Structure 1
Amino acid sequence: MTVTPIDVAAVVVTFNSDDHIIELLDSIPAAMAGLTYSVVVVDNGSSDGTLELLDARTDCAVIRSTNEGYAAGMNRAVRMSPQCDSILILNPDATLDASAVPALREVLRRTGAGIVAPRVREVDGRLSPTLRRSPTLARVGGLSFTGWPMFTERIEDPSAYEVEHEVDWAVGAILLIDAVCFERLGGMDESYFLYSEETDFSLRAKDAGWATVYTPTAGAMHVGGGSGESAMTHTMKILNRVRLYRRRTGTLRAWVYFGLTVLIEIRRAMLGHSKSWPTVWSLLRPSLRPTLLRANDSVLPR
């Protein structure tokens, strides 16, 4: 018996997300605008009221899980979804504009891209600069204030958000992914646990011939920091950036990237960024690194 795929499988991973998840789920029907779709939420061991809120819903399937990481949760949500043409990855602290998903899907089909990213705004309506360039040695410091692409990973120029174009990668709060692309890449790399998984996925997709395209025709709002950032999550973010760079460029260049990262975090710590000191110690002493990353076997994280 032939199974007809649905248009879109929406997948969400929650972790202590009771402040936001209802707004996201409430925004989905209008955002789909007549498309056939499913919603699967994987909860990574929330200890707040997230599960109680989800259990009261009838518009999503809820999968209880221990916290195996964001990428693992996303992969599980996709596996538990019906057969589909495209996968809509959503952070629980995002909301979608009406008819956003058909607009994303039209770009996905027309361009043959693997990933499409929408125009995202902050809570106050300001543009959220979600587009990014590939990591390089020159961009390790995040020198956005220079405005020079050579030194800037984050794309700040407002004009870049007015037109449809290909990008290296985009922040993964709201992304529509071709289901074949997701399957052929084997989903997200679960070794990152948290942070850099969308960077890795988009860059691997590009390697395989699947572009990431930005479109201003679809809109969404993202609160950002919905699960908060602690010293540990900041450390995970920085370590994963080093791991990603090493995996894509090799050990020698990664040592340079690592050294620059240490210097940058020391500078940030001396300027008063309290989360940077624990990161410095974790970079220099692998035994202090979060065990969830499994990156404590060598100074240069693998």
Structure 2
Amino acid sequence: MTVTSPKILTIILNYRTPDLTVKAAEAALREMRALGGEVVIVENGSGDDSFEQITRAVTAWQAGEALRVVQSPVNGGFGAGNNFGMRQGMSDGSAPDFYYLLNSDAWPDEGAVQKLLDVMAQHPRAGFAGSHIRGTDGEDHCTVFRFPSIAGELEGAARTGLITRMLRRAVVPMEIPAETTRVDWTAGASLLIRADMLRQIGGFDETFFLYYEETELCHRARRAGWDCYYVPQSRTVHVGSASTGLKTWARTPTYWFASRRYYFTTVHGRAYAALATGARITGALIWRLRRLVQGKPQADPPHFLRDLIAFSLNGLTRPAPKPRAVPLSRPLTEDSK
């Protein structure tokens, strides 16, 4: 069964990547024209002239109501920016049936969104459908994952074959499936989300600034009976880390540690979060020993272990933040903007 009639709203966040955003919007608009959908670009508080650059570029396309550029008053992070875009609704004021999230440095192949829609039609309890992601060099990017756990934290930090074999069911990154597969969660670089599900469970939790927000949303959806699917036939090119600078971090930013701790605390409780951090520290010490004995390379940003321990100790006496999953029961109105 092929779905061609639902209302789809594509959301692209820009943060200081106007040229890439324009390229992503052009590819998204091609997809939406074929499906009768629309594109909203959210300028997410870049503090530069991104809004003006993007507006000039898309005005030249004469896209009309199929493409809008809106400006968030603050940079609240990935989840808050996408929530802001979702609440814009369709240009006629109606609510979409699906939201398609596309990173500003990602470009779907022709027909990629249609393939995600097909999976949604085949699986009524599918809340998410994510694309296969490849780099500009053609290499596959792993974007299919298990939910993080204590065992997964130990395995991921230790990077040791024996431990990986013992904890293979907890390894967070999965082997990339060749066929459409139900997974725990998938990255939001090219992700179709069912609007009915969000109206039930809420949008992104805006306590997260960056990282772990998709993981938590998919976990919340799973608890409510919704599924996440990885669709390798839907293909998208992704530069990766264009806005975040992940690949060139000189030091892990505080918001990464905050998001990680908040995820474990919100999903599993403070005791579990503490044990997960202990497992991560233990794994990191195992890797440090291997580096000393076997000459293994440094795999984390500089001072990662020291920063993780310091952040964890500083948070022992602080109250846990309260979840802020934003209701998405209706489009954003002029009065609520």
What is the TM-score when the length of structure 1 is the normalising length?
A: 0.85
Task: Determine the C-alpha separation between the residues in 1 that align with 2:218 and 2:272.
Answer: 21
Q: CA-to-partner distance for each residue in 1:267-291, whole Å, 9 max, x for gaps?
A: 77994731624444333334xxxxx
Aligned-pair CA distance for 1:50: 2.3
Q: Post-superposition shift, 1:72?
A: 1.0
Overall identity of the aligned pairs, in %: 28
Given that 1:242 and 1:254 are in contact with CA atoms closer than 8 Å, whether structure 2 keeps it comes out as yes
Task: Give the alignment partner of residue 88 of structure 1, picking from 87, 90, 100.
Answer: 100
**Partner SS for 2:7:** strand
Q: Is the 8 A contact 1:164 1:215 kept in 2?
A: yes
Q: CA deviation at 1:152?
A: 1.2
The Cα shift of 1:189 comes to 0.6
How far the C-alpha of 1:233 sits from its partner, in A, is: 5.8
Question: Residue 232 and residue 298 in structure 1: after superposition, are their counterparts in 2 closer, same or farther (change >3 A)?
Answer: farther
Q: Secondary structure at the match of 1:175?
A: strand
Indicate whether 1:139 and 2:152 are aligned: yes
Q: Which runs of 5+ in 2 are unaligned?
A: 292-297, 323-337
> 2:115 is matched with which residue: 85, 103, 112?
103
CA distance in 1, matches of 2:177, 2:253: 27
Query: In the alignment, which residue of structure 1 is the partner of 2:263?
Result: 244
C-alpha deviations, 1:216-264, integer Å up to 9, x for none?
A: 1211011111111346764322332222122222222221112233455
CA RMSD, aligned part only?
2.6
Q: What corresponds to 2:311 in structure 1?
A: 282
Q: Is the 8 A contact 2:109 2:234 kept in 1?
A: yes
Task: Give the deviation of 1:136 after TM superposition.
Answer: 1.0
Greater RCO structure (CA 8 Å; 6+ sep): 2
Task: Check whether the contact 1:22–1:53 (CA below 8 A) recurs between aligned residues.
Answer: no
Distance 1:170 1:37 in 2: 23
Deviates more, 1:273-282 or 1:260-269: 260-269
Structure 2 distance, partners of 1:300, 1:255, is 12
**Structure 1 unaligned blocks of 5 or more:** 287-295
Q: Please tell me whether residue 115 in structure 1 is matched to residue 128 in structure 2.
A: yes
Q: Shift of the alpha carbon at 1:166?
A: 0.2
Larger radius of gyration: 2
CA distance in 2, matches of 1:236, 1:266: 23
Question: TM-score, length-normalised on structure 2?
Answer: 0.77
Q: In the alignment, which of 64, 71, 79 is matched to residue 71 of structure 2?
A: 64
> Which residue in the other structure is 1:201 paired with?
217
Distance 1:8 1:136, change over 3 A: same
Residues 32 and 39, structure 2, Cα contact 8 Å, conserved in 1: no
Is 1:116–1:177's contact at 8 Å kept on the other side of the alignment?
Answer: yes
